[in-house]
Structure 1
Amino acid sequence: MKKPFIIAVVGSLRKDSYNRQLARAAQAIVGDRAEFEILDYSDVPFMNQDLEFPAPEAVRRVRDQIKAADGVWFFTPEYNHYFPGVLKNLIDWLSRPISKEEPQVLTGKPAAISGVTPGMSGTGLAQDHLVTLLSFLDMHIMNIPRLTIPSVAQQLDKDGGLALTTSAPFLEKQADAFIRFIADEQR
């Protein structure tokens, strides 16, 4: 059986965002049990139906990457009790049919959700909003376990980087569960 391919979608474009660091930590935990890639979508334009057909090259590229993935793991911050606009924009593009013959690429894809934030909510509200959208798009969401990490300042190293302490076992549990979830979905 081939290794599953997990694509990580980080809801922040900042190079060293805490959620990108969390995605890298998940990648390390997954190790060689799956292929794991962090999606670069920083060049995806604002959704605009005037540009939809043919889709811009950046949109075609990310669609192909999502289409090739066996599972999509979202790592989202929480901005004003919601997930970021750049993530919504990406999902808007991915939710559109590719052509009259080819549907959108999210339908049926297994999805996991994690998030870290400086605030107290731990991205729980943003994740709930994201679940609502992904459910509407017919993704297969692994609702348990989800990982919400509040008060990130308590889990930083001396240089200000993410150093999961109390949350590390929960990320490990989620990674194990998502690999099993993908395998179950492939059966």
Structure 2
Amino acid sequence: MSKPVILAIVGSLRRESYNRQLALAAQKAVGDRADFRLLDYADIPYMNQDIEFPAPEAIARVRAEIKSADGIWFFTPEYNHFFPGVLKNLLDWLSRPVSKDEPQVLAGKPAAISGITPSMAGTALAQDHLVTLISFLNMKIMNIPRLTIPNAQQQLNQAGALELAASAPYLQKQADAFLKFIDSNK
């Protein structure tokens, strides 16, 4: 039996963002139980129906990666009580049909959501907004457990890298639950 493929989508394009670091921590929590990949989407253009068909190469590549995944794990910061515009742009592209004969690629995909932020508020509002959108796109959402980590600076090591302490068991619990959720939604 082959391992499931989990595609991580990080809502920040910054190379060392807290959420990218959280995704890498999730990769360790998943271990060898799945093929865990981070989606690189920094090169996609703004959604524009004038260039929708045929889709730009970057969009075709991202869609192919989504199609090959068994589950999508979102890692989102919270910007002004919402998820980032780059993530919204990606989801706008992914919400569109691939062609006149092929529907959008997110429908039916299992999804998990995590997030970390420097503020005390955590990422709960951003996650709720993201759930609203991906529900509309007919993804299968694992609502429990979700992980929202406030005060990111409290979980950084002396070099400034994320080193989960209090949140580590919750990330592990979410990783275990998501693997089961993916399996139950095959």
Post-superposition CA distance 1:13-60 (Å, at most 9, x none): 000000000000000111110000000000000000001000000000
Give the secondary structure class of the aligned counterpart of 1:111.
strand
Write out per-residue CA displacement over residues 133-164 of structure 1, whole angstroms, 9 at most, x where no aligned residue.
00000000000000000000110000111000
Counterparts of 2:122 and 2:170 in 1: how far apart (Å)? 13
Secondary structure of the residue that 2:166 maps to in structure 1?
Answer: coil
How do residues 10-159 of structure 1 correspond to structure 2 at under 5 angstroms? 10-159=10-159
TM-score by length of 2: 0.99
Deviation sequence 1:49-97 (CA, Å, 0-9, x none):
0010000000000000001100000000000000000000000000100
Identify the residue that residue 9 of structure 1 maps to in structure 2. 9
Q: In structure 2, what residue type is equivalent to 1:69?
A: A
Unaligned runs of 5+ in 1: none
Amino acid at match of 1:172: Q
Across the two proteins, how many residue pairs are aligned to each other?
186
Q: Distance in 2 between matches of 1:162 and 1:110?
A: 27
Partners of 1:78 and 1:51 in 2: CA distance: 29
Determine the C-alpha separation between the residues in 2 that align with 1:59 and 1:23.
22
Distance 2:25 2:176 in 1: 13
Letter of the structure 2 residue corresponding to residue 50 of structure 1: D
Q: Following the alignment from structure 1 to structure 2, what is the Cα–Cα distance between the partners of residues 121 and 183? A: 32
CA shift for structure 1 position 2: 1.5
Counterpart CA distance in 1 for 2:87 and 2:67 is 17
* CA distance in structure 2 between the aligned counterparts of 1:153 and 1:182, rounded to whole angstroms: 32
**Structure 2: runs of 5+ lacking an equivalent:** none
Q: How does the TM-score come out when normalised to structure 1? A: 0.99
Structure 1 residue 121: Cα displacement: 1.5
2:121 and 2:103 mapped to 1: Cα distance?
35
Distance in 2, matches of 1:184 and 1:120, equals 34
Q: 2: distance between equivalents of 1:120 and 1:56?
A: 39
Aligned to 2:165: 165
Moved over 2 A (4+): none
Q: Secondary structure at the match of 2:98?
A: coil
